[in-house]
Structure 1
């Protein structure tokens, strides 16, 4: 063996060391060893073995439970459930950026865990029979059921789970990169065990449930197909429904599989009751409503106040063929509004955004257009105990004070922002428009000779308001006219649904309408909606392009909250900051479901549905006698 001169010199030095020096080294080593032996032994890490997992506290359902409380375990199978969707579609791939995926096309795929409608922050074993994890939740091993299979009768393996994670990370919609930020590794330990290891600094409270909720794809199936390519080819899945038929852009139907491997699992008992699920597509709201009146589809939730107040008296209702109901909605109200594209320099000044918001007269709209059916949205967590109110509490201030340099001063000096109240008498509230005009002038936008506001560079204050719904024109038009009175060169541009989706994916808009259904246990998904990392990722849910260090910090606090109380406090603080930033023009909400359906369905609850969902496609079932009566009466074909 060849050695360098430096190595030889080292060896010579060691050989020449005097005995007393070696003795001192040995003595020091012995002392160190004795000291280490005297230290208390580290307690052995406790490993939890469970049939499920929850964010806070204990699971509601014990191991071996028969079924969820809100289902009818004896619900009969059969029949069809049909509803509608706006716009169009050209893909059956809901997890990638390319194409517009058909509604419900995620129904093909199972996941390791299943959620439920009783607990917004819990998951129970589906593909995974059970899971093991340490108390600090830095890793988890899912044990896959040996009976779990894809439709071609091949087993679901740990390698399929690893492939699914990698496919979503590398080729899925950009939000997955954000969600997987704290996933250190995913590895197949053998065919039935897959291990997820997480960053110790990540949101450990919910990362296991994030992993458990991932759709599982067949690695063998995609060996000859590109996961990132849009397609109308029905994929190989493992879920309860497969594709029955597809008419691109017009309708899609899914057929329940009698041989579904998990049909008798406790998490599925009393669910997936319809033989066929169908979604009909319509270009606009009015044509969809007329089609429902004629029996083209059987179930409709009404979101348009004009129709609900004036149009639900057609003959099928009068004859008792169609049932009309209002049921309570226990979820946080949908976060719906006009969202500013903060990537546009024109919206850099929050005073501009606040002024534009003040031009919307909700009070007039509610009285004149909505028949008084709505309430004004104030909060991103409206209709929940996570909504910020009044001045910040001491607990909120403890979170906000270290972030003072990154948030508006009004967060500390004023109550949580609520939109100004306009007069309902006239769409143009002159007092409100004067206040809005003063904000624009303070921001450097003055009225030019032609009545349009310009800045110091002579640039005109021009904004385009983007939408795809004809039914929204009656709301947009008065708003646009108020903006024009304010000196804003406002343009309402209605495009088709496909163009809208493409422009939103690429952030090619000034102002657009968006609605988010906020979780009752907010967490990691907030990165995709408000986090800086998602702001410039095409196709992300951060439609406004929010980039703010305080927002990112508060999201992290939310993710790591150890109790419901801590969570609520952190969400209130975030809500307070976002509202003060004026990133949107909040619209309206109603804490109820307005539904209509042909009278051929039954459900396991009366007038009090589970808080998180009506469960109409999963919990309801088909009554063949009622269906035949409708046919005999000529109500449906």
Structure 2
């Protein structure tokens, strides 16, 4: 009987995850099943018969100095991701689902403690060599070791990567309930090991790196222009996740000094397609555009259902000046959104009152029972208003008279130990309350200068400084600022990226996304709960709880959002009939014959 007993013991010693039989699947959803089943031919929001050809000319603001978009050094050009592919591809009409791209199929156990990717045999680099599991493992290792800091945080819960065969690779995850990990590994950009051997990945380069995507760099002039050319024998052209996409033979980005110059260049026909982010320009700047008058151009706003995220004046909490929550709240009272919207924006915007605005993830009213179950263990560690009061940004009548707000602000500042002496706000040591608002575009000056004037009425010296894009990026990468305008974009399925936005460990990582420098154990705890949410209903409740705590800590002065994509373009393009929930997808357009 010893042999059967020994065999049984050996069987029991096999880890459950390895013993589990897992069937390969074509796609994954964060919660539930993906919308598109096995054998789907294309996404619903594309035209699978879109013709190929022509050129799309685009604009970007500021210059660039590197063709490596994966590191913290340098500024890459617009479209720098076009030559590269990932293991899987997102759809634009689901909260969070991915389908095979470089990976043909994926294997995931019920507990999502690991994932195996089976690569497509036809997947090729632009030099014709096959993409292998060794390339996948290399990509993960090099991005974590030498890539932008966001990769280290995003993939921090990956324990190891193993090459199981020429086209088969496995990622194992650290203990914990993190159902998103197979999907975020699916977003891993895959880089060629054979190309990067002997090259320094961490430095800027003007040699176009080898890729595997639908485009490759054809021509460029640093700081001025770059043209990408469609790869004629692109291996993925007929895949369901690529059918009807990337239809242009060439995509060109031209660099402009600022948005005003770029607008005039567009109206002169120097480029073809423009996303208008300035309300004043949308309302008035196209009245003299010949393209509208003679119907050679079009202007249209498209509704979207994607979370607007948070745009606001972000405090740098590394500055002792902003350590007191009462000070941050007081400064927020000095921003007159209603006057700004009425006078500068033609009434186009909504005030942002959530880090997940324009979505079901935004907190509303008082906490629900599900939210309270999450928040109660944090009572005493978060602002008490989280439990008792719906967060609403301070409001005004919009007539420029904000005396009630300024009185409330002064009371808070006095409680925090500040006082006005000879017209200046000073602390007990006589040091003035002075800081700088750093901007990257002159267009922001007309918005920020009135805010600074309101602060001056409180005795606060708020300087406004606009710098070029290179200096701006360098200062943000090293947290060398007092206050900036920043946008934290959000998806319909928040997860591990929240660690990079708000997590304590990311607060001091150069180039990181925790721009405010938040170090709050309660926020860390809530982020962990968002990541481990087992279903959509729980995810929504936990995200709303996180939203409340972020809001009531006054880490930013919220600005505004729209819920529309405002587009203007020269009428040379065709577009699909359907716009997905994520908004307009320009790479599904085509040049009309």
Same fold (TM over 0.5): yes
Partner of 1:575: 547
Q: Secondary structure at the match of 2:66?
A: coil
More displaced stretch, 342-351 vs 127-136: 127-136
Deviation (angstroms), 1:88: 1.4
- Residue 351 of structure 1 corresponds to which residue in structure 2? 326
Q: What residue number does 1:3 align with?
A: none
- The 2-side partners of 1:305 and 1:133 are apart by 46
**1:594 pairs with 2:543:** no
Aligned to 1:155: 130
Distance 2:318 2:436 in 1: 14
Q: Could you tell me which runs of 5 or more consecutive residues in structure 1 were left unpaired when the two chains were aligned.
A: 1-28, 625-637
- Compute the displacement of 1:42 (Å): 11
8 Å contact kept, 1:406–1:548: no
In structure 1, the residue matched to 2:527 is: 555
Query: Could you tell me which residue of structure 1 aligns to residue 242 of structure 2?
Result: 268
Distance (Å, rounded) in 1 between the aligned partners of 2:285 and 2:15: 70
Distance 1:294 1:516 in 2: 33
**2:383 aligned to 401, 408, 422, which one?**
408
What is the CA deviation profile of residues 542-599 of structure 1, one whole-angstrom value per residue up to 9, with x for unaligned ones? Answer: 1111111111111111111111100000000000000000000111111111111000
1:116 CA displacement: 1.2
Please say if residues 46 and 135 of structure 1, whose CA atoms lie closer than 8 Å, have aligned partners that are also in contact: no
2:150 matches 1:175 = yes
Instruction: Kindly indicate whether residue 255 of structure 2 is the aligned counterpart of residue 281 of structure 1.
Output: yes
Other structure's SS at 1:229 match: coil
CA distance in 2, matches of 1:463, 1:109: 41
Judge conservation of contact 2:304–2:582 (CA < 8 Å) in 1.
yes
Tell me by how many angstroms 1:202 deviates: 4.8
| Paired residue secondary structure (1:391) | coil
1: distance between equivalents of 2:33 and 2:307?
A: 23
Q: CA deviation at 1:187?
A: 1.3
Query: Which whole-Å CA distance do the structure 2 matches of 1:192 and 1:238 have between them?
Result: 16
Structure having the higher Rg? 1
Partner of 1:429: 402
- Give the Cα separation in 1 of the matches to 2:292 and 2:15: 71
How far residue 406 of structure 1 moved from its aligned partner, in angstroms, is: 2.3
Q: Counterpart in 1 of 2:175?
A: 200
Alignment correspondent of 1:610: 580
What displacement does 1:48 show?
A: 3.4
Contact 2:303 / 2:583 at 8 angstroms: preserved in 1?
no
Whether the 8 Å CA contact 2:25–2:106 is kept in 1: the answer is yes
**1:188 is the counterpart of 2:169:** no
Could you say what the CA RMSD is over the residues aligned between the two structures, in angstroms? Answer: 1.9
Shift of 1:76: 0.2
TM-score, normalised by the number of residues in structure 1? 0.89
Structure 1 residues 492-511: Cα deviation after superposition (integer angstroms, max 9, x where no partner): 01111111111000000000
Give the match for residue 483 of structure 1: 455
Determine if contact 1:53/1:209 at 8 Å carries over to the other structure.
yes
8 Å contact kept, 2:327–2:416? yes
Alignment of 1:471 with 2:458, yes or no, is no
What is the CA distance between 1:383 and its match in structure 2? 1.0
Q: For residue 311 of structure 2, what is the aligned residue in structure 1?
A: 336
Matched, 1:498 2:470: yes
Separation in 1 of the partners of 2:129 and 2:310?
A: 42
1:107 match: secondary structure: coil
Q: Which secondary structure state, in structure 2, belongs to the residue aligned with residue 406 of structure 1?
A: coil
Partner residue in 2 for 1:255: 229
SS at match of 1:482: helix
Q: Which residue does the alignment assign to 1:534? A: 506
Equivalent in the alignment of 2:590: 621
Q: Structure 1 residue 491: deviation in Å?
A: 0.4
Q: Following TM superposition, by how much is the alpha carbon of 1:264 offset from its aligned partner in structure 2, in angstroms?
A: 1.3
Regions of 4+ moved over 4 Å: 41-44
Give the superposition deviation at 1:466. 0.4
Length, aligned pairs only: 584
Task: Give the SS at the match of 1:412.
Answer: helix
Tell me, in whole angstroms, the C-alpha distance in 2 between the residues paired with 1:118 and 1:325: 21
Given the two structures, how large is their TM-score scaled by the length of structure 2? 0.96
* DSSP-derived class of the 1:230 partner: coil
Q: Provide the rounded CA distance (Å) in 1 between the counterparts of 2:95 and 2:125.
A: 28
Question: How many Å separate the matches in 1 of 2:326 and 2:558?
Answer: 16
Aligned residues of 2:63 and 2:469 also touching (Cα < 8 A): yes
